[in-house]
Amino acid sequence: MTAQGVNGSSVSILIGGEAGQGLSRSGSLLGKALMRGGLHVFGSIDYPSVIRGSHNFYTLTVSDEEVHSNGDSVDLILALNKETVLLHVDELSPGGVIVYDEGVKISSEELGRDDVRLLPFPLTGIIKEIGGPEVIRNTVALGAGLGLVGYDVELMKSVISDAFAGRDTIIEMNHTAIEKGYGYAREHYADAVPIELRPSGEDPDRIIVTGNEAVALGAIAAGCRFYAAYPMTPASAVLHYLISTEEETGMTVVQTESEISALNMVVGASYAGVRAMTATSGGGFCLMTEALSLAAMTESPLVLMLGQRPGPSTGLATYTSQGDLLFAVHAAHGEFPRVVVAPGDVEECFHLTVEAFNLAERYQIQSIIVTDKQVIESHKSTPAFETEVGIDRGELEIVDEWGGEEGYKRYSITESGVSPRILPGTVGATVFANSNEHTEYGYTTSDALETRVMVDKRMRKGSSLRAEIAGLSPVKVYGTEDADVTLVGWGSTKGAALEAIKALERDGMKARFVQVVYIEPFPTEAFKAALGSGGRRLLIEGNRTAQLGQIIKLHTGISFEDTLLKYDGRPFTPGEIAARAMEVL
Amino acid sequence: MVELSELGTPVENTWCPGCGNFGLLMTFKNALVELGLEREEVAIVAGIGCHGKITDYVNVNALHTIHGRVLPTATGVKLANHGLTVIGFAGDGDAYNIGIGHLPHAARRNVDITYVVHDNLVYGLTTGQTSPTSKRGYVSKTTPRGSFEPGINPLVQALASDASFVARGFAGEPHHLRELFKQAISHEGFALVDVLQPCVTWNRVNTYQFYRERVYKLEEEGHDPGSFDEAYMRAREWGDRIPIGVLYREERPAYRKNFPALEKGPLARQSPEKVDVKRLLKEFK
């Protein structure tokens, strides 16, 4: 056992302070140092929508086994200010520890607990001693935390060297800060805390990424060459990553004047024959719906990631939600086939993005990847992605000259509904894509028969799409067949649900989780088969109206008596799922 | 090089007899012929309104888009395949009402496209409502007491947005307009050509006669298109005299030149499978 918390084999560390103190960065660097030692990590940030001042905290959960979400309690709090102690002391497991600055006075009444330990550190003193800026406080605290749990400090230093490569002064300053915090902990509190983290000695090929980064990497792997987006939390990091790698990937990335512009640009690039994508959150997606309909009518393949946050309207801009599922399934006017797919972790973010591109292009439709803040802004360690992915551009034929006997028909009627596509610019042909109902050549029509034929052609693509998705693991099942309770959910709920299964097992309960991955076209048969017939069922969703439940009912007639719905912007925890599962049993 | 006869389509033209769009369409086709372009080298993008039917009437690559979104869509086409000569068409409602938010951005970016606005100062296809370029006092279905909003001045808007080529033409002066089209299409960067194009059905004020009595050609009056101040002054002129011609022209690198990937040729012609994703993963290890 290389990870030992106060009450089990996982360790949760919470770093808290003010916005602007660099908590997400520090937390993820700590996570990487732990991953490099062979441990598994999951880290998430909680922050209000401000740049400086208010309270932020990052929670990192570490274990010898894969970690799918944070737990319900923490073992160690690294408090960069007093507020952190007071806000989070109740989350500490009995026996847990708080690292704080010795200059901060905390009375036992304020603390309100006598089963946890306060360990004062000269955080401010160390900053003064090394002549560091205030922002280095979190690094000193990281060093202190590593010292307390006895981890290899060199791994942390190597992570810092890599993160700030080429900026030697910053590296040196951070190394000193780490060592000072670490040294103080070893000198004054060695063996004082019942928490241990040791490198496992394993050297597995792992990475630590956010869902945003995984989606961006998936897009790169899938051959996406054009990305246009307007910044919007929590999806902005896709834009940041793709711009930062632009020279290496050869992608053309545009920060547009609006989400309206973003999706229309993507439609233009798609028409010209390039794999293209955008990402946004609910408000931006509202603005994109007209262009989504344009893409459907012109049969322009594209991928759109919708990173959900709580609405309506501005809502909770920096928190998580699953409130836009029905919106994604139904968005835009007119009837047309589409893909709605919901990755539940970073690995799925990567692979489903690739799949979304291939499906979009094969059927010349639009793929919507529905994520949420919890999955796209949280860090998770995972086996390095298998980057040899297949790129299937379907009926796109890239030729220099059109060889057809008659003129090129962009919307030729075919059995599958998919028309062969060529690039505008192909010698001897012109490509006409039209938002009006159109003939095979693309010319505008209002003829009744031609309209019916063309609507049927587009909708036929949906039938073959449905059949193909049935073969793509559209529904995943975790846990034993003979479970006492079947949990049903989608998206980021997966993480907490998988941890809940472990928790229930520890209490002698058998649980399984049915994850709906493809929501549209809904995989009716796969879902029915996965659900099985026995045991209690519990539907878990991050919204108020059980939107997946409504979709399931529509397609299968199955309804859920028992639900666990959460709509306060916070992610599910394993404990609350386990507790609700016990209630329904 | 394309012949004029190859640019036609089998689609029956449904513009009203006498519509200024006819002159514009013929002039545009002639400009393509005179520029020596091939059909497949040209992509036109149009919005919604009477003007938008142009995609049905010219046999080149075409993307008929939605109301107000010609500029971002055309930008996407150009960035994805800069080997194409991209020309956007919009109406005054399309360009200056619903889509005006895109004008300053396409202009300041200097996207290498030509933007032809069929400016008839009225809404045609929706049967005669007031338009953003309708003048104050203009009586229409939606302004029975006369429009109380001053019209937008598109040329001033374009100049204020750093457009590198700003011109105005008149559909009743096809030879002059053809030269403007040719210059605009050859210009590296964003080129706006606002075309005064009489709507014979709905606009009884801004008629052929109205313009014939007022338009004058800038190049005949020694206008210097290199002078922003002079251009701005001319752009504000609308009364007894209305200027047509190139108001402003500036040499500035086109938007696409900022993207490293485009130096290797059009994106659409680049193989999408050459990126080493494994190398990118190292950062996350």
- Whether A204 has a pLDDT exceeding 90, the answer reads no
> Of A470, A488, A513, which marks where a domain is finished?
A470
In a domain, A10, yes or no: yes
Q: How many Cβ atoms sit within 10 Å of the Cβ of residue A141?
A: 29
Both A401 and A346 in a single domain?
no
Distance CA A208, CA B233 (A): 59
Question: What ipTM goes with this model?
Answer: 0.98
DSSP-derived pairing of the beta strands A379-383 and A206-210: antiparallel
In terms of domains, do A428 and A518 share one? Answer: no
Are A210 and A346 in contact, with CB atoms under 8 Å apart? yes
User: Judging by DSSP bridges, how do beta strands A475-479 and A518-520 pair with one another?
Assistant: unpaired
Write the DSSP string, A483-523.
-SEEEEE-TTHHHHHHHHHHHHHHTT--EEEEEE-EEES--
Give the nearest chain A residue to B101 (CA atoms): A257
Average pLDDT over every residue of A246-259 = 96
Nearest to A267 among B73, B81, B261 (CB): B73
Under an 8 A CB cutoff, do B69 and A264 touch? yes
Structure tokens at A221: 């792997």
Shared domain for A377 and A304, answered yes or no, is yes
pLDDT along chain B (285 residues), means of 10: 93 95 97 97 97 97 98 98 98 97 98 98 93 94 95 98 98 97 98 97 95 98 98 97 98 95 93 84 96
Task: Note whether A258 and A278 are within 8 A (CB).
Answer: no
Which pLDDT score, from 0 to 100, does residue A98 have?
97
Domain count along chain B: 1
Residues 6+ positions from A412 with CB-CB distance below 8 Å = A419, A420, A440
In a domain, A56, yes or no: yes
| Residue linked to tokens 């229930």 | A504
Q: Determine whether the interchain pair A384/B84 forms a contact, defined as Cβ–Cβ distance below 8 Å.
A: no
Rounded Cα–Cα distance for residues A35 and A388 (Å)? 24
Is there a single domain that holds both residue A42 and residue A95? Answer: yes
In a domain, A489, yes or no: yes
CB-CB contact of A99 with A141 (8 Å): yes
Interface test mutation site (partner A, options B61, B255, B263, B282, max chain A beta carbons within 10 A): B61
Instruction: Kindly indicate the confidence band of residue A49, based on its pLDDT and cuts at 50, 70 and 90.
Output: confident
Are B76 and A256 an interchain contact pair (Cβ–Cβ within 8 Å)?
no
The yes-or-no verdict on residue A1 having pLDDT over 80 is: no
Q: How far is CA B34 from CA A382, B29, B249, in A?
A: 60, 9, 21
> What length does chain A have?
585
pLDDT of the residue at A228: 98
**Across the interface, do B281 and A207 touch by the CB < 8 Å criterion?**
yes
Residues A504 and A532 in one domain: yes
Q: For residue A35, what is the nearest residue in chain B, using CA coordinates? A: B285
| Final residue in a domain of this structure, among A451, A470, A489 | A470
Smallest Cα distance from B176 to chain A, Å: 28
pLDDT at residue A193, rounded to an integer: 87
In a domain, A42, yes or no: yes
Q: With an 8 Å Cβ cutoff, are B55 and A432 in contact?
A: yes
CA dihedral A284, A285, A289, A292 (to 10 degrees): 110
Where would I find the H helices in A37-167?
Answer: 82-88, 108-111, 123-130, 137-149, 153-163
Bridge partner list, B245: B168
Which helix (H) or strand (E) is B268 found in, with range? none
The reported pLDDT for the residue numbered A434 is 98
| Cβ proximity of A160 and A171 under 8 Å | yes
Element (H, E) at B161: none
Q: Look at chain A and report how many structural domains it folds into.
A: 4
- On whether residue A438 sits in a domain, the answer given is yes
What is the separation of C-alpha A570 from the centre of its chain, rounded to a whole number of angstroms?
A: 14
Count of beta carbons in the 10 Å neighbourhood of residue B260: 14
Interface test with B, best of A225, A289, A351, A393 (most B CBs within 10 A): A225
Contact state of B79 with A251 under an 8 Å Cβ cutoff: no
Q: What is the CATH number of the domain that holds B206?
A: 3.40.50.970
B8: buried, middle or exposed (CB in 10 Å: 19+, 13-18, 0-12)?
exposed
The residue of A261, A346, A382 whose CB has the most chain B CBs within 10 angstroms, and thus the best one to mutate to test that interface, is A261
**Residues found in chain B:** 285
In this complex, is the C-beta atom of A207 within 8 Å of any C-beta atom belonging to chain B?
Answer: yes
Opening angle at CA A317, ends A315 and A319, nearest 5:
100
Q: Kindly indicate the confidence band of residue A139, based on its pLDDT and cuts at 50, 70 and 90.
A: very high
Q: Chain A: give the shortest CA distance to residue B92, in Å.
A: 19
Distance CA A501, CA A382 (A): 20
Nearest to A94 by CA among A193, A197, A198: A193
- A568 shares a domain with A522: yes
Q: Which residues in A234-299 belong to E strands, given as ranges? A: 252-255, 276-280
Q: Are residues A372 and A435 in the same domain?
A: no
- A392 to chain B, any CB pair closer than 8 A? The answer is no
pLDDT at A244 over 80: yes
Mean pLDDT of A171-175: 97
**Is A268 close to B72, i.e. CB distance below 8 A?**
yes
What is the sign, positive or negative, of the torsion defined by CA atoms of A406, A410, A413, A416? Answer: positive
Radius of gyration of chain A (CA): 26
Note whether B61 contacts A258, CB cutoff 8 Å.
Answer: no
CB contacts of B161 in chain A (<8 Å) are: none
Which residues of B are less than 8 Å from A37 in CB distance? none
Distance (Å, rounded) from C-alpha B151 to C-alpha B199? Answer: 17
Task: Say how many CB pairs under 8 Å bridge A and B.
Answer: 214
Q: How far apart are CA A225 and CA A253, in angstroms?
A: 8
Residues B110 and B158: beta-carbon distance below 8 Å: no
Query: Which pLDDT score, from 0 to 100, does residue B273 have?
Result: 65
Examine the domain organization and report whether A494 and A409 are in the same domain: no
Instruction: List all residues 6 or more positions away from A374 whose beta carbon is below 8 Å from its beta carbon.
Output: A44, A320, A492, A495, A542, A571
**What is the rounded CA–CA span in Å between residue A352 and residue A472?**
10
* A223-250 average pLDDT score: 97
Nearest to B171 by CA among B226, B118, B220: B118
Q: Which of A420, A425, A419, A421 is nearest to A401 (CA)?
A: A425
Give how far the C-alpha of residue A133 lies from the chain's centroid of Cα atoms, to the nearest Å: 33
Query: If we measure between CA atoms, which residue out of B96, B42, B39, B87 comes closest to residue B67?
Result: B96
DSSP-based three-state secondary structure for A459? helix
Burial of B201 (0-12, 13-18, 19+ CB in 10 A): middle
pLDDT greater than 80 at residue A123: yes
Cβ-Cβ contacts under 8 Å, B45 against chain A: 268
Average pLDDT over residues A227-243: 98
Q: What's the rounded Cα separation, in Å, for the pair A243 and A238? A: 9
Cis, peptide link before residue A337, omega less than 30° from 0: no
User: What would the pLDDT profile of A390-438 be if each residue is shown by its tens digit?
Assistant: 999 999 999 999 988 889 999 999 999 999 999 999 999 999 999 999 9
Tokens 């049927």 found at: A456
Between chains, do A444 and B45 touch, taking CB under 8 Å as contact? no
Token duo for residue B37: 């372009």
**Chain A neighbors of B267, CB-CB under 8 A:** 225-226, 252, 269, 272, 274
Q: Which of A205, A248, A434 is closest, CB to CB, to B64? A: A434
- The answer to whether the CB atoms of B76 and A266 lie below 8 A apart is yes
Q: CA A469, A327, A331 angle in degrees (round to 5)?
A: 80
- Quick check: A540 and A567 in contact, CB under 8 A? no
Instruction: With respect to residue A174, please indicate whether it lies within any of the assigned structural domains.
Output: yes
Pairing of strands A511-516, B165-170: unpaired
Kindly state whether residues A509 and A375 are assigned to the same domain: no
Is A249 near chain B, with CB under 8 Å? yes
Among residues A433, A150, A110, A115, the alpha carbon closest in space to that of A271 is found at: A433
**CB-based contact B102 A261, cutoff 8 Å:** yes
Residues A176 and A310 in one domain: no
Q: How far is B35 from chain A (nearest CA, A)?
A: 17
Residue A414: CA count within 13 A, CB half-sphere: 14
Query: CATH number for the domain including A521?
Result: 3.40.50.920
Regarding whether A81 and A58 lie in a shared domain, the answer is: yes
- Examine the fold and report which residue of A356, A383, A410 is the final residue of a domain before the chain moves on: A383
**Cβ separation of B75 and A427 shorter than 8 Å?**
no
Chain A residues whose beta carbon lies within 8 Å of the beta carbon of residue B112 = none
Give residues 283 to 342 of A whose Cβ lies within 8 Å of B: 290-291, 293-294, 298
Is residue A270 within 8 A of residue A261, CB to CB? The reply is no
- Give the per-residue pLDDT at A191: 83
Q: Which domain holds residue B130?
A: 4-284
Annotate A26-41 with DSSP letters as a single string: HHHHHHHHHHHTT-EE
Domain that holds residue A503: 475-584
Angle at A472 between CA A467 and CA A478, to 5 degrees: 130
In chain A, residues with a C-beta closer than 8 Å to the C-beta of B107 are none
Same domain, A534 and A561: yes
Question: What's the gap in Å between the CA of B7 and the closest CA on chain A?
Answer: 11
